[in-house]
């Protein structure tokens, strides 16, 4: 299949390119930018006049639920949601049933993902067997089977010594580790930020130190072992100076923030809105603004969806008893573009946070438009107005607090590995 994308504004943050140029694709690869290659005859010509052409988005944290939790999501439904959102590369979390801690589970996911074929699914495998935090998983065997990184998916280690051994093993083989800084003892049974809103609603709180204590421990253990870590889902302003200090000390550390943390605060929990029950919890306006500033300066270089689809029953209970998480694939780009509209980031900076930067964090060859590389392309109309309707989402999980939000900027086409996997319906 040969595709030409014409007349669009081409933005490739990795190379600094921002110009009106054509893109030409053949055999799954990007073969030329600008002039048509000699002898090239496109099977599909896409007119991107007035639209932005950028690399396909890369999302470092997506719970795809299959195998085992198909009432919440399947590889078919969630990769379709990714394609609709302009995402071409997903890193799936290991908290499936069974857990991704054997080559057999990796092979199962890879086979089903190839059949779904609407987005590239990369595997983040379990650091410990069954995510129980007590015995190391066979990381080298899992890497040979296709795992590109390792994590606990927010589950705790049995103790700091177990984490030390896990990071030491990963460092020996230069395996990237994703860590979610949450101290289980301090988090306890909390479900909201420990502050005025939680007090008014009578909800058990999670203090900021539940994150900062864990983050300080993660950074210290990584420094001692030499492990390459990525800090997942920061939520607190007080985490920013800890991350800044680690980077000044030249630690091999990167970090991300979930896009909902850059738009919502604990005020949004008013009336016990269970759609805003997330982990880590939504915190204060001060925290949100500090995270925005860290993203703007590049201290936190990555934004992710932290996609966690749920069935309706999981969100139908008193607030503390509901499952945390937001179905976020279909709003990642739109909410990131809102940061541009609110002058937090320029458009190229915003696109870098969801394309080349997440790819670079795990040394992945995606998130850029380079001749000879995989043809992953997102085309979006930056002026299109649309309203999110939860009941019209592709994801099997309709749990989103952004239902009814009016957005500016909508994906019109998504190309993954040279295949047109999504095209917006023409109204």
Give the integer Cα–Cα distance in Å for 176 and 174.
Answer: 6
Tokens of 338: 């809102």
| Catalytic positions, written as ranges | 306
Q: Tell me the residue ranges of DSSP E strands in 142-270.
A: 147-151, 177-179, 192-193, 205-206, 229-231, 253-258
| Nearest residue to 219 via CA among 184, 237, 245, 238 | 245
Q: In 10 A of CB 426, how many CB atoms? A: 5
At 160, which helix (H) or strand (E)? helix 160-172
| Nearest residue to 61 via CA among 153, 181, 128, 187 | 153
Residue 248 CB partners (closer than 8 Å, separation 6+)? none
Give the integer Cα–Cα distance in Å for 227 and 363.
Answer: 15
| Nearest residue to 401 via CA among 303, 300, 324 | 324
């Amino acid at each position: 299949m040969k595709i030409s994308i014409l007349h669009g504004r081409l933005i490739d943050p990795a190379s600094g390119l921002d110009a009106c140029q054509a893109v030409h694709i053949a055999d799954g690869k990007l073969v030329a930018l600008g002039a048509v290659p000699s002898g090239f005859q496109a099977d599909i010509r896409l007119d991107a006049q007035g639209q932005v052409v950028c690399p396909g988005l890369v999302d470092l944290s997506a719970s795809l639920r299959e195998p085992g939790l198909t009432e919440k999501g399947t590889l078919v439904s969630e990769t379709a949601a990714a394609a609709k959102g302009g995402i071409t590369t997903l890193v799936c979390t290991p908290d499936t049933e069974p857990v991704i801690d054997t080559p057999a589970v990796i092979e199962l996911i890879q086979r089903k993902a190839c059949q779904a074929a609407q987005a590239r699914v990369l595997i983040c495998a379990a650091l410990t067997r069954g995510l129980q935090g007590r015995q190391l998983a066979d990381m080298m065997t899992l890497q040979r089977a296709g795992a590109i990184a390792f994590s606990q998916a927010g589950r705790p280690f049995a103790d700091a010594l177990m984490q030390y051994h896990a990071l030491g093993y990963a460092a020996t083989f230069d395996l990237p580790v994703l860590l979610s800084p949450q101290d289980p003892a301090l988090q306890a049974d909390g479900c909201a930020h420990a502050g005025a809103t939680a007090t008014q609603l009578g909800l058990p709180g999670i203090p900021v130190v539940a994150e900062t204590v864990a983050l300080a421990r993660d950074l210290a253990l990584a420094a001692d072992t030499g492990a390459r870590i990525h800090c997942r889902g920061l939520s607190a302003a007080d985490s920013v100076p800890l991350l800044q200090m680690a980077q000044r000390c030249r630690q091999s550390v990167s970090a991300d923030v979930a896009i909902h943390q850059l738009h919502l605060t604990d005020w949004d929990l008013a009336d016990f809105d269970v759609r805003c029950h997330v982990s880590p919890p939504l915190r204060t306006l001060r925290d949100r603004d500090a995270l925005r500033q860290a993203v703007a300066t590049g201290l936190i270089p990555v934004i992710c969806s932290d996609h966690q689809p749920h069935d309706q029953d999981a969100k139908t209970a008193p607030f503390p008893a509901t499952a945390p998480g937001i179905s976020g694939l279909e709003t990642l780009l739109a909410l990131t573009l809102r940061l541009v509209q609110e002058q937090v980031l320029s458009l190229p900076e915003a696109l870098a946070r969801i394309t080349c930067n997440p790819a670079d964090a795990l040394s992945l060859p995606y998130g850029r438009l380079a001749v000879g590389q995989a043809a992953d392309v997102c085309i979006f109309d930056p002026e299109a107005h649309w309203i999110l309707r939860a009941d019209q989402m592709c994801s099997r999980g309709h749990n989103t607090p952004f239902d009814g939000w009016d957005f500016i900027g909508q994906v019109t086409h998504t190309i993954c590995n040279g295949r047109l996997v999504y095209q917006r319906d023409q109204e």
